[in-house]
Amino acid sequence: MVELKFFEPEDLSDLNYKLDEIQAQYSALPKQALERIEARNQNDDFFAYPITILYNEEIAGFCVLDFGNDKLELTDNQDSVLLRSLSINPEFQGKGIGKLMMIVLDDFIKEHFKDCNEIVLSVNERNDFAFQIYLKTGYNYEGKKIDGRSGPQFVMSKTLD
């Protein structure tokens, strides 16, 4: 079973995993993402929420829900959230956790961020595995691309009912 919770500092030791060389091109590690959030907080930008992904009550991954202005590169919708820095600990990969996480994410956002009506994300055009998971979990790709740190990114979105 996959569950999401707001990150707590004691989660960090279980989030100190490494991604392989290919995956590391596509996602920031939890520690890097947390450092970016802390830097933003120094500038009174408190709009990014780190999320811990649990699998059968064990810490299995991490992502960030970003309500800041970065999302406006992907959408015009002020009531959207940008999903970023999603990763699953390699020890837990291959169990469908990423796909299940994308499904339970909808209810987590609806419960905790009632004004949010859209999830946006970008996925590297070479990361077909992730692209296919996003398609299977209800995300749409309408042809928009942006430049990312590792090359062109497909912009995908999902409307929350």
pLDDT at 150 (0 to 100): 84
Q: State the pTM of this model.
A: 0.93
Q: Tell me the average confidence (pLDDT) per consecutive run of 10 residues in the chain, 161 residues long.
A: 97 93 86 92 89 98 96 96 96 95 97 97 94 96 92 96 82
Strands (E), 14-161: 48-55, 58-66, 80-88, 118-124, 140-148, 151-159
pLDDT for 20: 86
Task: Measure the CA–CA gap between 27 and 94, rounded to whole angstroms.
Answer: 17
